[in-house]
């Protein structure tokens, strides 16, 4: 019954040549790619577009309109991954470009994903004993210089305040690129005895790094993140803390974001400027490039020695504290887009989706409207009460078909359709975002509250695991085990990740980067059994490393 | 029974001359006032301090220790309000000074108050139709210059980034002092039609104003705030929005912070740089100075004209949008401290207190310990389950008396004491922070879960209204109705607020400021009935204004 009422997803993908007399989307897209302000309202439900006359067959007209609107919006992912990414961000209204090169405005829909990440993390951080606080963002330049490798790593990307209140400053101020230095400056004042330890804090803030090549969410001049900072009495505690936090990130990635990251340790070359060890989670994007999605650093005593952060231990001896820092950022939103999205746009994991279910009322005749709207309002109320994030799109400026595509493009995991015949039979139709066509639809779900609620929750759970399953298969089919440098080069040239035993030098690692564009993403925590021979040198190796091109 | 067991609050206030061989608190306090990093851990439960031998009578020893510790920490409020304020902030570990002049580190306990403010506001903002988002903090200098009064108001306090990535920038960047300019730059790209309106957003961010005279929370070089920004199709809608948001702030102040603010309109002289109208909430601090605790601006078309933020109305005409902006900041935390605190330290309204109830176990003999600790753990569990924010202070490094004072100083609204006799009788003792001595104590409250939970919730409610009642009486007894400039001068010279009819010129208003130090805080929304004669000119006046010295 529904097939006759609505266009199938397949029909929506057929080409169209009609024009609606609006500004050319092709130009809009090109603007976007050139990092100039895009006209991001192009696909907004609020923007003006004339509706076809109501006398015409509604289904047929929406079919053709949808095709036209659809075709003009998003570059197919398979055709140009980068263009697709930027189109999704613009059209789903996740972000926009700020007026200063490389800066990003995070729009409400994108920010809501970030808020979902914050909500989850804040609970986990507090459960693991951390408190939120706030350190100032202006750091005296001299602080940055105190830790040798830190200044080397960060000085090329600093933004400097040199004028304040109309006067040239005596000491220029660094706009926080990360806060280890100012954190240590304060810790020296708060830590005296072993009883002051561990000191475990976190802050949610903006940070600035003067990046030359930027990309929304993935690498921007200013971004949002959380940075955890802890101080401990022993190196073991610091190591455990750094491992605990990379584990929190890993669980978040799997369970909330449905991203099967690979957790491991960075090589010395790739370790954070100032850390003794960096742990990382590496995610495979849809174009098979790696995204470093979160890091946790064991800082050892590097910063505490540079700043004199000491405590008196139980034996009355002065010791430098052992520290960690760890962060995830708005880059994670980019990771979600690039892991799950498809040609139709964004695809959000239900646990992080700002809207988990969209309800679309469908009617042809005016007489049908009241019944349908009343039914959809009840369904909305029911789901909202059940704690589901739900949106009822009952605007009359757009056709149902247009709405189907719009909310698919916005990545809403589940759609509920209610038409006059559904109202008569007391049922609804449910469509999964992640399974196109009839296969993803269930017809005749009862509107009976307990049935509908259970069904929607089940479907959301199914989608959540299905996204993780799909991403895991994709990841696993794109990692190649390699035993020689030739095999590594061949895997990388095919766009895949290469995993192989590695005990070669930093120079060899840099050579791989120069010759293949790939870097060691990590030595995974999960290691294969058995003896290993370094793929580069033929010497014994203790671990396999993963090599990949990355963002 | 309890009187014998524990020192009365009165006895805790008696003078002491003993010394504990720790660094002189007097020096610490002086450091603090000189805006140098204070040793804020001085009163921390975690810091090292030797305990008296357990053989001595515990009650007597804690009496004398408490006196000594107490005396050294906080300057009495009545003696020096400013010193008291800084002492409270340092000792309650609310904040500390950052390394750059005028910057502030918000410590976990202070930040938790800010988080409570955020949690409440976020719900209200979303209920009233606003979405959170994020605008970049770097604003091209040319933007600031576009709105004439805006640049005049803000240019003296700007921090400028002139170097990025090692290079001198072509255009210097302003570190966001407020975001109206960049918001309008973006709004021009998102707003096309009346269907795009209203556009209602908010962001929680840091802002920078190069203030010369700073004070923690009240006025700092960098602070945290939320700034709401909206665009509307009509001036009426903008006016209603600006009024709605000052109403949200007013309710928050009364219902959550227990601060009886006076809401009203700013005079033209005191209106925000770029607004047509500024609404404000003005709070009376414990020293009777006024604190502007939140503002909501009707921006009219000032920014939309400067930036060309236009929409096509229903008749196809292009119009500039009508806008508002509104903000509260970490300054509010300062307002809470200065409204409710007393000689013993901080006093927090239960609804915003990070810890609403502290439980102190009390035992003398080792045999009593297990029973007492097990009872306090049950009480903690019970209250936590009931949604009460509770802390069990079972550390053994400090005596009960020390803990009493410590948590009083931290402003925890309610204390539960459990000793061996309470365990035997299955009851607890409850003490109110806001009512000193026996009057604030209730003995023999049953530990039976439903009884105890109800009693604690009642007490918290009582404290919440009692704080508001007390602050309201204080406010009302310190506002003087004046009919002439002489009466105004006399009221101000007594440190009070003056309320009188006003229709005089801007020049007259500035003269009052010059001659008395007081400014018009607002024309209150609540106006007395009857004809009014301007206190300065004798001309008819439509409204009374409130004059006061302010922070």
For residue A221 the two structure tokens come to 């001049």
Among the partner residues A98, A108, A114, nearest to B201 by beta-carbon distance = A108
**What ranges make up the beta strands (E) of A352-456?**
357-361, 390-392, 414-418, 427-432, 441-446
How far does Cα B441 stand from its chain's mean position?
27
Q: How would you class A119 by CB atoms within 10 Å of its CB: exposed for 0-12, middle for 13-18, buried for 19 or more?
A: exposed
Lowest mean pLDDT segment, chosen from A98-112, A232-246, B16-30: B16-30
Residue-level pLDDT at A149? 82
Cβ B357 vs Cβ B383: under 8 Å? yes
Closest CA to B378 of B463, B453, B458, B454: B453
Among the partner residues A47, A164, A192, nearest to B48 by beta-carbon distance = A192
In this complex, do B161 and A156 lie within 8 Å of one another by their Cβ atoms? no
Residue-level pLDDT at B58? 34
Gap between the Cα atoms of B236 and B369, Å rounded: 66
Gap between the Cα atoms of A440 and B391, Å rounded: 50
Task: Express each pLDDT in A269-322 by its tens digit.
Answer: 999 989 999 999 999 999 999 999 999 999 999 999 999 999 999 999 999 999
Give chain A positions within 8 Å (CB) of B196. Answer: 41, 44, 46-47
Closest CA to A110 of A254, A267, A220: A220
Residue-level pLDDT at B48? 31
Q: Choosing among A48, A49, A91, A98, which should be mutated to test the B contact, i.e. which has the most B CBs within 10 A?
A: A98
Higher-confidence residue: A16 or A136?
A136
In this complex, do B111 and A134 lie within 8 Å of one another by their Cβ atoms? yes
Task: Express each pLDDT in B42-74 by its tens digit.
Answer: 323 333 333 333 333 333 333 443 444 444 579
In this complex, do A164 and B161 lie within 8 Å of one another by their Cβ atoms? no
Task: Express each pLDDT in A511-529 by its tens digit.
Answer: 999 999 999 999 999 999 9
Render the burial of A470-495: b for 16+ CB within 10 Å, e for the rest.
bbeeebeeebbebeebeebbebbeee
Asked whether the CA dihedral A194, A195, A200, A201 is positive or negative, the reply is: negative
Q: Count interface pairs A-B at CB distance under 8 A.
A: 204
In this complex, do B105 and A136 lie within 8 Å of one another by their Cβ atoms? yes
Q: What is the DSSP string of A60-124?
A: HHHHHHHHHHHHTT---TTT-HHHHHHHHHHHTT-EEE-SSTT-EEE-HHHHHHHHHHHHHHHHH
A223: nearest CA partner in chain B = B136
Q: Choosing among A139, A177, A190, which should be mutated to test the B contact, i.e. which has the most B CBs within 10 A?
A: A190
Give the minimum alpha-carbon distance from A161 to chain B in angstroms, rounded to a whole number.
4
Gap between the Cα atoms of B271 and B243, Å rounded: 15
In this complex, do B195 and A46 lie within 8 Å of one another by their Cβ atoms? yes
Low-confidence ranges of chain B (pLDDT < 70): 1-72
Q: Choosing among B45, B102, B138, B183, which should be mutated to test the A contact, i.e. which has the most A CBs within 10 A?
A: B138
Classified as helix, coil or strand, B9 is helix
Gap between the Cα atoms of A73 and A87, Å rounded: 7
Q: What are phi and psi of B50, to 5 degrees?
A: -75, 145
A44: nearest CA partner in chain B = B196
**What ranges make up the beta strands (E) of A4-81?**
none
Residue-level pLDDT at A67? 45
Gap between the Cα atoms of A272 and A326, Å rounded: 10
Residue-level pLDDT at A105? 98
CA dihedral A130, A134, A139, A145 (to 10 degrees): 0
DSSP letter, residue A254? I
Classified as helix, coil or strand, B463 is helix
Residue-level pLDDT at B155? 85
Q: What are phi and psi of B529, to 5 degrees?
A: -75, 170
Q: How large is the average pLDDT for residues A439-443?
A: 95
Gap between the Cα atoms of A352 and A112, Å rounded: 9
Cβ A256 vs Cβ A294: under 8 Å? no
Which residue has 């920004």 as its token pair? B229
Give chain B positions within 8 Å (CB) of A190. Answer: 40-41, 96
Give the minimum alpha-carbon distance from A180 to chain B in angstroms, rounded to a whole number.
14
Q: Write a three-state SS string for B271-318.
A: CCCCCCEEEEEEEECCCCCEEEEEEEEEEECHHHHHHCCEEECCCCCE
Higher-confidence residue: A26 or B395?
B395
Give the minimum alpha-carbon distance from A349 to chain B in angstroms, rounded to a whole number.
20
Give chain A positions within 8 Å (CB) of B115. Answer: 132
Cβ A228 vs Cβ A326: under 8 Å? yes
For residue A230 the two structure tokens come to 């802890």
Residue-level pLDDT at A82? 97
Cβ A275 vs Cβ A268: under 8 Å? no
Residue-level pLDDT at B73? 76
CA distances in angstroms from A15 to A9, A70, A71, A546, listed in the order given:
13, 9, 7, 42
| pLDDT value at A57 more than 90 | no
CA distances in angstroms from A222 to A118, A163, A206, A215, listed in the order given:
18, 20, 7, 11
Give the minimum alpha-carbon distance from B427 to chain A in angstroms, rounded to a whole number.
31
Q: Write a three-state SS string for B140-176.
A: EHHHHCCCHHHHHHHHHHCEEEEEECCEEEEEEEEEC
Gap between the Cα atoms of B270 and B547, Å rounded: 12
Task: Express each pLDDT in A464-512 by its tens digit.
Answer: 999 999 999 999 999 999 999 999 999 999 999 999 999 999 999 999 9
Give chain B positions within 8 Å (CB) of A41. Answer: 189-190, 192, 196
Gap between the Cα atoms of A188 and B96, Å rounded: 13
Gap between the Cα atoms of B458 and B463, Å rounded: 9
Give chain B positions within 8 Å (CB) of A108. Answer: 131-133, 201
Q: Choosing among B32, B97, B99, which should be mutated to test the A contact, i.e. which has the most A CBs within 10 A?
A: B99
CA distances in angstroms from A360 to A5, A77, A363, A406, listed in the order given:
13, 27, 10, 11
Cβ A499 vs Cβ A479: under 8 Å? yes
Give the minimum alpha-carbon distance from B444 to chain A in angstroms, rounded to a whole number.
34
| DSSP helix, strand, coil percent of chain A (3-state; round to 5) | 40, 25, 35
Cβ B309 vs Cβ B315: under 8 Å? no
Give chain A positions within 8 Å (CB) of B161. Answer: 159-162, 175
Cβ A285 vs Cβ A339: under 8 Å? yes
Give chain B positions within 8 Å (CB) of A143. Answer: 99
Cβ B91 vs Cβ B42: under 8 Å? yes
Tell me the angle at which helices A108-127 and A235-251 cross, rounded to the nearest 10 degrees: 140
Gap between the Cα atoms of A356 and A461, Å rounded: 11
Cβ B236 vs Cβ B286: under 8 Å? no
Among the partner residues B44, B189, B210, nearest to A165 by beta-carbon distance = B210
Predicted complex ipTM: 0.88
Among the partner residues A40, A190, A208, nearest to B41 by beta-carbon distance = A190
Give chain B positions within 8 Å (CB) of A163. Answer: 158-160, 162, 172
Give chain B positions within 8 Å (CB) of A212. Answer: 165
In this complex, do A161 and B166 lie within 8 Å of one another by their Cβ atoms? no
Instruction: Sketch out chain B's domains with CATH numbers.
Output: 82-340 (3.30.930.10), 357-459 (3.40.50.800), 482-549 (3.30.110.30)
Residue-level pLDDT at B191? 98
Gap between the Cα atoms of B37 and B100, Å rounded: 11
Lowest mean pLDDT segment, chosen from A435-444, A454-463, B23-32, B258-267: B23-32
Give chain B positions within 8 Å (CB) of A173. Answer: 100, 159
């Amino acid at each position: 019954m529904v097939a006759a009422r609505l266009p199938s997803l397949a029909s929506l993908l057929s080409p169209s040549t009609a024009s609606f007399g609006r500004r050319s989307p092709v130009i809009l897209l090109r603007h976007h790619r050139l990092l100039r302000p895009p006209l991001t309202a192009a696909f907004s439900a609020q923007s003006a577009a004339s509706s076809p006359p109501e006398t015409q067959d509604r289904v047929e007209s929406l079919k053709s309109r949808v095709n036209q609107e659809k075709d003009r919006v998003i570059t197919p992912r398979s055709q140009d991954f980068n263009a697709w990414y930027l189109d999704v961000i613009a059209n789903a209204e996740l972000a926009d470009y700020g007026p200063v090169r490389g800066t990003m405005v995070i729009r409400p829909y994108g920010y809501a994903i970030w808020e979902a990440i914050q909500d989850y993390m804040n609970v986990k951080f507090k459960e693991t004993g951390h408190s939120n606080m706030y350190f100032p963002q202006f750091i005296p330049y001299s602080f940055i210089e105190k830790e040798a490798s830190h200044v080397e790593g960060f000085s090329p990307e600093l933004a400097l305040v040199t004028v304040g209140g109309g006067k040239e400053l005596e000491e220029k101020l660094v706009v926080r690129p990360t806060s280890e230095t100012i954190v240590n400056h304060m810790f020296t004042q708060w830590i005296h005895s072993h009883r002051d330890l561990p000191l475990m804090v976190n802050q949610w803030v903006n940070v600035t790094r003067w990046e030359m090549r930027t990309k929304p969410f993935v690498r921007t001049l200013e971004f949002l993140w959380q940075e955890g900072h802890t101080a401990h009495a022993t190196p073991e505690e610091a190591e455990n803390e750094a491992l605990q936090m990379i584990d929190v990130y890993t669980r978040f990635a799997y369970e909330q974001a449905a991203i099967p990251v690979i957790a491991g340790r960075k090589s010395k070359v790739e370790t954070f400027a100032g850390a003794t060890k960096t742990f990382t989670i590496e995610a495979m994007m849809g174009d098979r490039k790696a995204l470093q999605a979160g890091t946790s650093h064991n800082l050892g005593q590097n910063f505490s020695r540079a700043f004199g952060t000491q405590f008196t231990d139980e034996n009355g001896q002065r010791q430098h504290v052992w520290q960690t820092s760890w962060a995830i950022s708005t880059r994670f939103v980019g990771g979600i887009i690039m892991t799950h999205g498809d040609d139709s746009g964004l695809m959000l994991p239900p646990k992080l989706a700002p809207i988990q279910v969209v309800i679309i009322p469908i009617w042809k005749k005016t007489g049908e409207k009241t019944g349908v709207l009343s039914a959809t309002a009840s369904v909305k109320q029911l789901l909202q009460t059940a704690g589901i994030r739900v949106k009822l799109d009952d605007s009359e400026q757009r056709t149902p078909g247009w709405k189907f595509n719009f909310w698919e493009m916005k990545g809403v995991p589940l759609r509920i359709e209610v038409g006059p015949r559904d109202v008569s039979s007391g049922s609804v139709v449910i469509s999964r975002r992640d399974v196109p066509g009839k296969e993803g639809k269930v017809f005749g779900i009862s509107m009976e509250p307990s049935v509908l609620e259970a069904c929607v929750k089940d479907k959301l759970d199914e989608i959540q695991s299905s996204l993780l399953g799909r991403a895991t298969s994709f990841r696993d089919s794109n990692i190649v085990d390699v035993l020689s440098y030739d095999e590594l080069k061949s895997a990388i040239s095919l766009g895949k990740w290469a995993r192989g035993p590695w005990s070669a030098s930093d120079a060899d690692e840099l050579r791989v980067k120069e010759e293949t564009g790939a870097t060691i993403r990590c030595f995974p925590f999960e290691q294969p059994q058995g003896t290993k021979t370094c793929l580069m040198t033929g010497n014994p190796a203790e671990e396999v490393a993963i090599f990949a091109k990355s963002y």
